[in-house]
Structure formats: structure tokens, C-alpha cells
A and B are shown apart, each in its own frame.
Chain A
Amino acid sequence: MDKIRILLVDDEPSFTRMLKLNLERRGFKVMVENNGAYAVTVARDFLPNLIFLDVIMPDVDGGEVAAKIQSDPTLKGVPIVFLTAGVSKETTRVKGDVIGGQTYLAKPVTVDEVVRCIEKKLAKSPGATS
């Protein structure tokens, strides 16, 4: 069975490195991109099942990246989960982790929470691989 492919887009190398290590240990195939501007190009090559996307990055805004991914024919329908340090867990909790139609995970999260989120999103996704 093919491994679930996860793309991590975040400008913080230590964050992506730690999350990659954890997810790989849990059996996921992980690709990291620390420059948001290259996210769409990398995604086209990697063809992830799910993308974790930082919201606030130095060169590009996470929202813009998400819009480009969603409008790309090869990436259409790939679920995106925003990982952000900009909202509180209280905010995401009361809104069911969905703000403005997007799913958010508020940093810091545990690996278990990340894995649960992947499972939940892919269960709903029409192109889910499992």
C-alpha cells in the first residue's frame, strides 16, 4: 500500500524537521518546503495527499499559497490544513477547528493531534489514499 504523502510548508526549518521526523515514524511520506514561494512547484512534483501550510511566512502569505494550490488543475481537491501560531486554541476549539471554511491547527500541537487531523481530513477527501 502506498504511503500517505504529506507536504509541509513552513519557514521554520526546526519545526518542519521535527514534524517530518515524527510523521515519517508514523508511516507517512513527508516532503518539506521552507520557502512558501516554491510551495506550488514542489506540490506539483510531489503530488501530496494533504498539505500543511504555515500562515505567516516572510516572503508569501499562506492564504495566497492556498489559493494558488486550489486553482492548480493538478492539485485541485488536495486538502490544506493551516498550521499557525497566530490564533489561539480557544478560537479554533469553539469554531471546530474551522475558520472561514479552512481547517486550522494552532501551534503548538502534539503529533497525535496532527495525525488525527490528517485521518479526519483524508476520510472526508474524495481522493483519499489509505
Chain B
Amino acid sequence: MITKPPVEPPHSGLAETAARSWFDAILSLSRDGILAISTDWIIVGWNKGAERMYGYSAEAIVGRPLSTLVPTDRLHELSAIYPAIARGSAIEEFEAVLVRSDGVSIDVVLSTAPTRDEHGHVTGALALMREVTAIRRAETAAEQNSAKLTEREMLLRKALLALRQSHEETKSAQLQLVQAAKLESIGRLAAGVAHEVKNPLAVIMFAIDYLADTIASPDEDTTAALTDARDAVKRADSVIRGLLDFSTATELSPVTEDVNRVLAKALELVRHALTKAHVLVVEEFEDGLPPAMLDRNKIEQVFVNLMINAIDAMPDGGTLIVRTRRERLTEVGNEVGVRKTDQFRMGLGVIAVEIEDTGTGIDPNCRVRLFDPFFTTKPPGKGTGLGLAVCKSIVALHGGTIRIANKEGGGGARATVVLRSIRSKEVKADG
């Protein structure tokens, strides 16, 4: 800051000798550096404080230009204050970097006041300099520490976030493990139960067949009794079959396969059910789909189960739409991302298979339980409640996903199975 000089010097009115003595005492006692310069910027005075600060003795520096004390790359800073000094203005608390005799730069805060002759003309200036290198270094260190602290705080926040995410993933993995253990137990139980129950069922079936052949002309009630008994055996067998399929849905024999072909085969298998239920089929198969590694029997079973569900949802007839298309996952979404729990990575090539019906759709209350074992909305004897549980296990074993939802705008449900496709290089390696 530049201000006007006082009109009267502070020692005004004192005897000149006394003033000179005061001045000398101040110069010698001051810990700060004090120097005097002429109007042509030559150092004309230099106290002990300045000697300590800069390492120059008065004899060595007096008579040399002020620029001796300024690093060459900062000379422009000095030229900025020259005009003020020439005008006789004072400068307060000007921060500068000056250089010592050994070449080391030091931070100083300097203030100047003009010196005048008896006529009041400016003859130069007196500069008072205080070294602040240590303070500036401490300030810089504090700023750096503060920046480091901020950076560490951010790292801690990130770590906390990662920890929370990892906790969520662990929880989810634990749930999956519990679910897998449950399914495995059901599977083991199912295989044992199936063997023990199927033998007696076979005996009953043969006995019914024998009785039916034995009774030469059965009355209406006898025929009904035999039919009911046969149906009951078939129903019990259907539950056991479901359990067996469920228990064997843990092993795969994958081969390179064309998804369209597997889907067409599944359609053939349900052709009779389609005709019986007056259901029209619309095939929208994308040509030239990349192949996938599939256990074709198991995936066919998935498609058949989904188609049977769709047909059952259209008791008064309707349309079954079977669609395939290739996709490249370019956006983070359902099961797509970088979390460990995400089934698919971004950029992965997949094949989406959609099986749509024009039925009544899914009751929103049932949606969360759709894939639970033994959950069914079909009438007794019609479904075992294991079909979708089996589908989910099989698709998950293939590293794929299955989703069932009502169609946008209503008018039926859509099952979507997403399977990983393989690249042509992998096909060659496989084949």
C-alpha cells in the first residue's frame, strides 16, 4: 500500500546531533534490516540487521545498486515500486523475495519511507526489512498439510463408501450362499424321496392297469374310480419329476449351441399344447445370432417351462410371441455393472430370449415369489410350483439371468432370459 509521507519528519524540533545519535542507535539496535537508497537506486546506508540478513557487510554493499539484492527473475517486482519511491510516497508491508550474498533467496516484508533534504526534496528512501522466510515456509507447510488432510479425508470417505458397498456385497453373497445351501438340501432330499416314492407309484399304476383289464365291463363309477386313481398317480409323479429336475439342475454339459435352434425345438415340444389351447405362435427370431455355450437339454427345459406357463395363462386362447435378439450391454442396469454381484460386465455380448403371452398378466403380489420352490398360482394338479425355480437354477448355472414381468401397458406377461454369447474366436477354440 502506498501512502503520502508525513509532512514533518518525526525528529522535527530536536537538536541535529541528538537526532543523529538517536538515528545511529536505532540503526545499530534493530534486528530488522535497514537500508538507505538514493534516487538513482544505489545503496547508501546499511545497518547490522541488514548485514545479518543478507550476509553483506556495509563496506561490501554500500555504493552498489539495489538490484544486487533482487533475484534476476524478480527484477520486475522492484521496478513496480520505483515510481512510488521517486514520488516520495511511503510503502507499507510490501512482500518481496530478495537474495543473500550466498545466492539463497529469502522472503521479506519491507516498508519504505522517503528521505528529503532541507528543502523537502526527495533524496531517496529508507527501507525497513523483516525476514519472514520461516513464517512463509510454515504457512506453505500448513497449506500443504491442510491439502493433504483434505485429500486423506476424501480417501477415508471413499474407503468408507467401499466398505459399505463391500458389506452390502458380503450380505448379498451370504444370502445367495444360504439360498444355494437350501436348494442343495432340497435337491438331496428330492432325489431320495423320488426313488422311494416312484416305486410304490409304479406298483399302483400297474395295479390300476391290471384292474382295468380285469373288469370286463366296468360300470360308470368303476371307470371313474380307475381314471381318478390313474390321474392321482400321474399328479404325484409330476411333483416327484419336478423335484428330480430341480435336484439335477446343478450340473451342466455345455456345448456350442444355436439359441434359435433350441428355441425352435422347445416350440415343437409344446406344439400339441398350443393347438389344444388355441394359441397362435409368432416367431421373431433374429438371424445370424452368435452361438452360446449351453446345456441344450436344460435350456430347452427352461424354454418349455416358460412356454407352458404362457399357454396356461391363456386358457381362452391368445398369442405366444417368441423372440430372440443379440445385444451388447452398453449401459449399467439390472444385473449389469462392475459390482461383484452383477451377473454381466459392461460391453458383454448377450442373447436375449423373450417369451410373451397375451394372458391376464402376473398379480403384483405374486411377483416376488415367482421363483420360490413350490409357489404356484395354477389350480391343484396343474402345477408343482417347481417349474420357475428349476428355470432360475438352470439359467443361473449358465451365468445368465431370467426376469418375468407384465408387459408395458398390460395385456400379458413377458419372460426374458439373457444368455452370454460367445465370440467367433471362442467358437473356433471350442470346436
Q: List the interface of chain A (C-beta within 8 A of B).
A: 12, 14-15, 18-19, 21-22, 25, 56, 83, 85-91, 94-95, 106-112
Contact = CB atoms under 8 A, between A and B. Distances in A.
Contact of A18 (B196, B197, B198, B206): B206
B233 interface: yes
Given A18-B210, A94-B297, A88 B202 contact: no
Contacts of A109: 202, 205
B346 to A, nearest CB: 35
B195 A110 contact: no
A85 B200 CA distance: 10
A91 B246 CA distance: 12
Nearest to B234: A108
Given A85-B194, A86-B194, A108-B237, A22 B209 contact: yes
Given A22-B209, A25-B213, A94-B297, A107 B201 contact: yes
Given A85-B202, A86-B195, A18 B241 contact: no
Interface residues of B, number: 31
Contact of B209 (A83, A88, A89, A111): A111
Given A86-B195, A111-B209, A18 B245 contact: no
Interface of B: 191, 194-207, 209-210, 213, 230, 233, 237, 240-242, 244-245, 248, 269, 297, 300-301
A56 B206 contact: no
B206 A22 contact: yes
Contacts of A89: 237, 241
Contact of A15 (B191, B203, B248): B203
Contacts of A19: 206
Contacts of A18: 202-203, 206-207, 210
6 closest Cβ contacts across the A-B interface?
Answer: A85-B198, A18-B206, A108-B202, A107-B202, A88-B244, A108-B205
Contacts, number: 81
A63 to B, nearest CB: 16
Nearest to B194: A85
Tell me what chain B mostly uses at the interface: helix, strand, loop, or mixed: helix
A112 B205 CA distance: 11
Contacts of A22: 206, 209-210, 213
Given A12-B199, A86-B195, A89-B241, A94 B210 contact: no
Contacts of B205: 108-110
Contacts of A87: 244
B232 to A, nearest CB: 11
B273 to A, nearest CB: 14
Contacts of A94: 269, 297, 300-301
Nearest to B236: A108
A15 B199 contact: yes
Contacts of A107: 198-199, 201-202
A18 B213 CA distance: 13
Nearest to A12: B199
A86 B198 CA distance: 8
B266 to A, nearest CB: 10
A90 B241 contact: yes
A111 B209 CA distance: 7
